[in-house]
Structure 1
Amino acid sequence: MSLTSDIKEFALDLGYSRVGITTADSFSEYAAIMQSRGAMYEFLVQDPAVWLEVSEPKKLMPSAKSIISLVWDYSQKAFPEGLLGKVGRLYLSRSYNAPPHRINGSRYQLMLDFVKKAGCQVGQGIFLPERWAAARAGVTTYGRNNFAYAAGIGSFIVLSSIVVDAELEYDTPTVEVGCPEGCTACIKACPTQAIYEPQKLNPRRCITLNTLFTQDGMPAGLSSHISPEIREKMGTWVHGCDVCQEVCPRNRERLQAKLPDDEFLVMASRDFSLTKMLNMTDEFYETRAQPLMYNYIKERKYFQRNAAIALGNLGDPAFIPDLEQAMNDPEKLVREYAAWALGRIGGKLAKQVLETKRNLETSENVQKEIEAALLAV
């Protein structure tokens, strides 16, 4: 067999659903599009030159000739109802940027080792526009919701790539939108109108971004603050969001399929609750939050903030005692959003809690949230 055939066969043996090969040529169109989006994407990178860098694999690796594009299907097992609508399927699958000591991280490492042993030099630390690479390698098409789709699977996939110095056999590109003609289901369903046109997303309005990237110390004006308008539309999502994928007709078959249980997730769902995330113990953080949601959030206060928003949006007075407990948290961020959630739930008991805490609170930001919440109850 040829080297290309060997690589593809090994990838499929590892469990990858699709593998394609494309050239290491420039992704200049990608760079131009990203630069044209302006301030919406500044949080990702402040230096516009970086878009040019990631779009030119050969500048990062002069010997680069080919890109191996790999597709992992993370929807092969069912996701428990108790976790859906709270944590995105991608994160529940533990397959996105998985560490090497976990099964999904070791799979990619095995692929790297195979390619190296086959005599290829492998590019190190090269960030690529994965959806563009996969479409050019003929393994995915685009969706109007900005996701990549693999035939027979849908958009519940993780893409990864390997840049090598070998000239391999290249696949026919599938750089096209595969959505049904005229379908705008994802645009209509997006709670925050983050998808403002087909294939165009304002990430600052995206629920996923607001659950993950709104942290202090981030670039381009991002902070831990989430605007009240966005909070009210976040529903119960605390890490990611699947809405635009759930309504997509291209995912219907997989979403309706009877799939085997993921026993780890079944076990995790028994212990998982928004109230436990709000008033998080060390054990919950180590055994439930981090194994499922290790990608972007390292400080527990952001998990707690997201849980407070979710509880507020549920509007159930039964959560008032949990939110009252959170009003004693040492992190002022947690107290701010617990106050907002109490105002969102409303009622006599919520008002009593807010009035009591107003007299004790020392943080100016928390006091402002309490005053705003009191106006809402």
Structure 2
Amino acid sequence: MTLTNDIKEFALDLGYTKVGITTAESFSDYIHELKSRGSKYDFYVQDPRQPLQGAEPQKLMPSAKSVICFAWDYAQKSFPESLIGKIGRIYQARCYNAPSHRINGARYQLMKDFLVKNGCQIGQGIFIPERWAAARAGITTFGKNNFAYAEGVGSFVVLSSIVVDVELEYDEPTLEIKCPEGCTACIKACPTQAIYEPNKLNPRRCIAFNAWFTQDGKPAGLTSHIPPEIREKMGTRVHGCDICQEVCPRNQAKLKSKLPDDEFLIKVAQDFSLSKMLNMTDEFYSTRIQPLMYNYIKDRKYFQRNAAIALGNLGEPSAIPDLEIALDDPEELVRSYAAWALGKIGGSTAKQILEKNHQKQTSEAVQKEIDAALEKIMVW
């Protein structure tokens, strides 16, 4: 057997769903497309991982010859109904950029160990455009919702790749859109109109983006502020959003499949609630938040903010006592969004709490959120 065949068989033995190989040449079309998006992607271009440089692997690793691409089906088990619409499926599956001490990270590490053992030098710190690489390696196609699709799986795949210095046998590219002709289901379903054209996304309007990338200190002037019009359309989604995948015809077979339970997720779902997330204990954070949502957010105040938004959108008066507790949180951000949520829920009790807190709050940001909430609050 050739090294190419050995690599592919080992990857499949590890549990990868698809594996393909492409050259390490520049992803010039990707670079052109990214630059054409202008300010919509300035935060991404300025990312410390330097995606534009990663799209030219041989500039970062002159000896690079091949990119080995992997797709893993993360919807092999079912997702609890109580977590759907709150936490994206890919995060529930604990597979996206998983650390090496977790099973999905260990799979990637075992693959790298195999390659080194077989004489390959591996590129380090090269941020490959995964969707473009996977399509060029022939294991995925594109969807109008900007996701990658693998045959027989749909878009519920997590992609990864490894750059090596060995010339391997390359697969035929599948750089194509395989959506049904005339289908615009994803565009119509997006609550914020983030998908404004087929294959065109304004990330700053994306629910997932607003849930986890709006943090202080990020590139291109991003802050923790989420515009009120976006908050109201986030629903109860605190980490990720699957709407454009859920409505896609290409995903219906997978979504309707009878899948085995994920026993760990069942345990998480039994303990998880938005109120617990809002006023979380250290134990809740370490056992129920971090195992699923370790990807983009390291500071718990952003999780609490998202929980406050979700409770406000849920609109249940039973959440008012928890939001009142959050108004005493040491984090200004949490207090601000708790105030917004109280205003969204409305009622005389919420109004009284907001009025009382307006007097004792010393933060100008919190006072502004209380003022805005009181201005719009409905009392019954």
With normalisation by structure 1, the TM-score equals: 0.98
Check conservation: 2:16, 2:70, Cα contact below 8 A. Answer: yes
Paired residue secondary structure (1:163): strand
The CA deviation at 1:124 is: 1.1
Alpha-carbon spacing, 1:49–1:86, altered in 2? closer, same or farther (3 Å): closer
Paired residue secondary structure (1:20): strand
CA distance in 2, matches of 1:332, 1:168: 54
The CA deviation at 1:119 is: 1.1
Letter in 2 for 1:265: L
Letter in 2 for 1:310: A
Paired residue secondary structure (2:290): helix
Question: Are positions 1:312 and 2:312 aligned together?
Answer: yes
Alpha-carbon spacing, 1:140–1:263, altered in 2? closer, same or farther (3 Å): same
CA distance in 2, matches of 1:161, 1:199: 22
Paired residue secondary structure (1:79): coil
- Per-residue CA deviation, residues 288-312 of structure 1 (Å, 9 max, x unaligned), is 1111100111111100000000000
Letter in 1 for 2:70: L
Alpha-carbon spacing, 1:314–1:14, altered in 2? closer, same or farther (3 Å): same
CA distance in 2, matches of 1:114, 1:21: 16
Cα RMSD for the two superposed structures? 1.2
Paired residue secondary structure (1:81): coil
With normalisation by structure 2, the TM-score equals: 0.98
- Per-residue CA deviation, residues 76-99 of structure 1 (Å, 9 max, x unaligned), is 000001111001011111000000
CA distance in 2, matches of 1:36, 1:170: 29
Alpha-carbon spacing, 1:219–1:49, altered in 2? closer, same or farther (3 Å): closer
Residue correspondence of structure 1 range 1-377 to structure 2 within 5 A: 1-46=1-46, 50-377=50-377
The CA deviation at 1:55 is: 1.7
Check conservation: 1:65, 1:164, Cα contact below 8 A. Answer: yes
Letter in 2 for 1:190: C
CA distance in 1, matches of 2:214, 2:94: 22
Check conservation: 2:49, 2:127, Cα contact below 8 A. Answer: no
Alpha-carbon spacing, 1:14–1:217, altered in 2? closer, same or farther (3 Å): same
Paired residue secondary structure (1:138): coil
CA distance in 2, matches of 1:31, 1:199: 15
Paired residue secondary structure (2:350): helix
Percent pairwise identity = 73
The CA deviation at 1:118 is: 1.0
Check conservation: 2:47, 2:219, Cα contact below 8 A. Answer: no
CA distance in 2, matches of 1:77, 1:145: 23
Letter in 1 for 2:23: T
The CA deviation at 1:42 is: 1.2
Check conservation: 2:51, 2:129, Cα contact below 8 A. Answer: no
Paired positions, count: 377
Check conservation: 1:66, 1:165, Cα contact below 8 A. Answer: yes
- Per-residue CA deviation, residues 184-238 of structure 1 (Å, 9 max, x unaligned), is 0000000110000000000000011100011111111110100000000000000
Check conservation: 1:28, 1:52, Cα contact below 8 A. Answer: no
Letter in 2 for 1:123: G
The CA deviation at 1:50 is: 4.3
CA distance in 2, matches of 1:47, 1:14: 31
The CA deviation at 1:121 is: 1.2
Letter in 1 for 2:356: T
CA distance in 1, matches of 2:213, 2:162: 27
CA distance in 1, matches of 2:230, 2:12: 41
Paired residue secondary structure (1:292): coil
Alpha-carbon spacing, 1:135–1:314, altered in 2? closer, same or farther (3 Å): same
Listed as ranges, the gaps of 5+ residues in structure 1 are none
CA distance in 2, matches of 1:26, 1:368: 49
The CA deviation at 1:46 is: 2.6
The CA deviation at 1:48 is: 12
Structure 1 segments of 4 or more deviating over 2 A? 45-52
Paired residue secondary structure (2:280): coil
CA distance in 1, matches of 2:130, 2:62: 19
The CA deviation at 1:51 is: 4.8
